[in-house]
Every structure is written in structure tokens, then in C-alpha cells.
Amino acid sequence: MEISTFILLGVLVVISGYGVMIYNNLVRLKHNVSQAWSNIDVLLKQRHDELPKLVETCKQYMGYEQETLEKVMQARSRVADARAAGDVAALGPAETQLRMGLGNLFAVAEDYPELKASESFQHLQTRISGLENQIADRREYYNESVNNNNVRIEQFPDVIIANMFKFGPRDLLEFSDEEKRDVDVKALFT
């Protein structure tokens, strides 16, 4: 064999090896996004399971606040539907509604000293608030993973491998500007 054949084979091996490395990195990014979503999903499920307990506890004290409780449960249902479908785009608005509903519920609870003093209510409020903070942390990690994936599949030469093996972009988990603002507690009571 000639030297040019060895050089050509060497170049093909290097290019193939580089292609395999790119493919493996894209697979890793895809699985990081899936793992990040699973982490959020676990927390959403935990919170989903706690909300009926909170509503039942509140019902015992807040007989006239039925609308507030119903809004929380409707929002809970929308989050569950989006979560079950894996619909990240629908989850953001549903989460916004649920968080606003919970904010209203906790604000209205201020008018019920017996409810606020209830050990069950305090425990559930603490538990749900803790889950909210964990969801926010995991959302940040998820969005970072999605961003890394989306950038990588658009970069050259990765875009070639990504298109060949149908690696696609993923949706960020975004909440509305409304949710990012501080709650105006005075407006809740007018």
C-alpha cells in the first residue's frame, strides 16, 4: 500500500472518531435534559399530592373562601395535565396560575387566626413553600441543560451529526412576567 492510502485511512479514522465523540456528547446532553425534567417532575408530583391536604385543612376554617380554594385545585389540575403530557410549554402558564393561587390562599389565610395556628396548616405551608423553592432551583438546572442542548445542536460541526440523528431542540420552562413580580398583598384584599 502506498503512503497516501495510509494517510487517507488515518484521516478517515480521525474524522470518524471525532463524529463518534460529537454523537456521544449530544446523547449526554439529551439525557441531561431528560434527567433535569425528571427532577422537576418528582417535585411537581410531591406538591400535587400535598395540595389536596392543604385545601382540606383550609376548608375546615375558611368556609367563605370557596372560590380561592377552587382556583388552587383547578390550577393543580392544569399542572398535572401538562406534567402528564410532558408539555413544557403548557406547564409554564399552569405553574403561574398555581403559584398565584397559592399566594392568594396563603394571603387570605392571614384573616383566619385559627387556621394560621393550625399545626397541620403550618406544616403544609412549610412543605409546599419548600417544594416551590426546590422546583425553582430545578427549573434553573433544567433550563441550563436545555440551553446547552439547543446551542450544541446548532453549532458547526455538531449540527451535521444532530441533523443526521434527529437530535432536536427542547423547550425552556418559562413562567410569565406576572409570576416573576412580587405579589401586591394589598391588591389581594380589595
List pLDDT tens digits, range 59-70: 888 776 788 888
Interatomic CA distance for residues 72 and 128, integer angstroms: 13
Residue 177: give its domain's CATH number.
1.20.1440.20
Report the pLDDT value the prediction gives residue 174, as an integer from 0 to 100: 84
pTM, two decimals, is 0.79
Q: What is the DSSP string of 168-186?
A: ---------HHHHSPP-HH
Following CA atoms 15, 19, 24, 29 in sequence, which dihedral angle do they give, to the nearest 10 degrees? 130
List pLDDT tens digits, range 52-106: 999 888 888 877 678 888 889 999 999 999 999 988 889 989 999 999 999 888 8
> For all residues of the chain together, what is the average pLDDT?
88
CB-CB neighbours of 78 under 10 Å: 16
Distance of CA 29 to the CA centre of its chain: 17
List pLDDT tens digits, range 148-183: 999 999 999 999 999 999 999 999 988 765 544 444
Q: Structural domain of residue 168, as residue ranges?
A: 3-188
Domain count, the chain: 1
Q: How many percent of the chain have pLDDT more than 90?
A: 62
